[in-house]
Chain A
Amino acid sequence: MNRVAVIDYGMGNLHSVSKALESLGSDVQVEITSDASRILSADRIVFPGVGAIRDCMAEILRLGIDVIVRDAVDARKPVLAICVGMQALMQSSDENGYVPCLGLLPGSVQRFGGSGTLLDGQGNRLKVPHMGWNNVHQTRTHPLWQGIEDNSRFYFVHSYFVNPADQSQLAGETDYGHRFAAALSRDSLFAVQFHPEKSQHCGLQLLRNFLAWNGQC
């Protein structure tokens, strides 16, 4: 059995990522839980997130998820953070004013276009949220990119993006008005801004790679 714990802190749709993982093999056992011992005894951990960061962080702290994620990374257990899950790993987010985050990865979270308008290279206005399928350039090789062509399209939906302080942790980047971090990696932690569970073949391949990953890179 390949046991995957999907961390449940009451924010949003965990059905999609669970079903996507379950579709990848009869030996995959997915558990949606907030229980520390269940999470830490799993073979690998998915740290999802949707919605506003202030509400997410409040629940993460209330349920002690911050400690669990830190312990999992210290134990070199494979962890995949998705969307707001990725943003929550940074030091802080500009969303909802200013929200301190977990600080497992150095850097901040900022709004597309700041308080003004986001423009593309030709001066055209870009819509926010960044919603839809965009290319992800793989800035380094990584076991989670295996079998996925460089610049493949993944599904994004977000208004805030991660600005990493340590460029050596960059694993993938996407252009929307400017380049931003689509994927970061550190030890057994891999974080993506896009939704692999909604990104059809490429997304499923990334999840398949995650299920096979030993946490080293």
Chain B
Amino acid sequence: MALAKRIIPCLDCDKGRVVKGVKFLDIRDAGDPVEIARRYSEAGADEITFLDITASHEGRETTVKTVEAIASQVFIPLTVGGGIRTLEDIRTMLNAGADKVSINTAAVTNPEFVRQAAEKFGSQCIVVAVDAKKVSAEGEPDRWEIFTHGGRKPTGLDAIEWARRMVSYGAGEILLTSMDRDGTKIGFDLALNRAISDAVDVPVIASGGVGNLQHLVDGVVQGGADAVLAASIFHFGEYSIPEAKQFMADRGITMRL
């Protein structure tokens, strides 16, 4: 009888197609985000995150249609991220059926945008994506900095201070990605997770580095995460969502089973 920790599968989409691919045994179209989202929802995913990596303007219109289609068929919370830069972008996605939007680069280039967005639409739908990389040398106390452009561009912003600032501006949730761990499958940066989770009052979603189910447990128990986001371990059928939830529940974590 308590709030459950959440598992959030993430779909990376380009022009309305899932790009990293999904390998379910019995799926008809491995690139169709609507079918994949529906399958994850049926499997017990607690939310879906749809990350749009489309560059072109025409592609963005496809994205809106895809979000509409998912929201018409999948009745769990849906977060849309990628390319959210203006209040109009947010309105478009919320009208299409998104429940939350995730703001990334635009928060760094214009922090006031987060404040305006939260005032206009409410903190409950504003997720700020924090992409952090460890910058302290061996032997020094841990320090992480915010990076943009997929971890290539340093900003000089301290990750913990930045997360606190984003929450004070109205972020309702933090999506924390370790750029050191993203794609490595060696587990979350637990020290980073714990530092950010302790620094802010709002929920923190851990992302970047999941390779097995114990990593999900560690993210919650050691990293203090309220939710865990993962893509590849679910997409390629290595683990199913029910399997992940049961594994976490067996280790004492409250889950929605």
Contacts and interface: CB of A to CB of B under 8 A. Distances in A.
Contact of B122 (A50, A131, A195, A203): A50
Given A127-B202, A129-B172, A131-B173, A155 B2 contact: no
B212 interface: no
B96 A200 contact: no
Interface stretch (B25-33, B55-63, B72-80, B156-164): B72-80
B124 interface: yes
Interface stretch (A59-67, A132-140, A180-188): A132-140
Interface size class of B (residues with CB under 8 A): 35 or more
A155 B45 CA distance: 12
Interface residues of A, number: 39
Contact of A15 (B41, B95, B119, B256): B95
Contacts of A50: 121-122, 124-125
Contacts of B201: 117, 127-128
Contacts of A51: 121-122, 124
Nearest to A196: B75
Interface in A158-217: 158-159, 175-176, 195, 197-200, 203-204
B256 A23 contact: no
Nearest to B68: A15
A203 B97 contact: no
A19 B71 contact: yes
A75 interface: no
B99 A132 contact: no
Contacts of B256: 133, 153
Interface of A: 12-13, 15-16, 19-20, 23, 50-52, 117, 120, 126-135, 137, 151, 153, 155-159, 175-176, 195, 197-200, 203-204
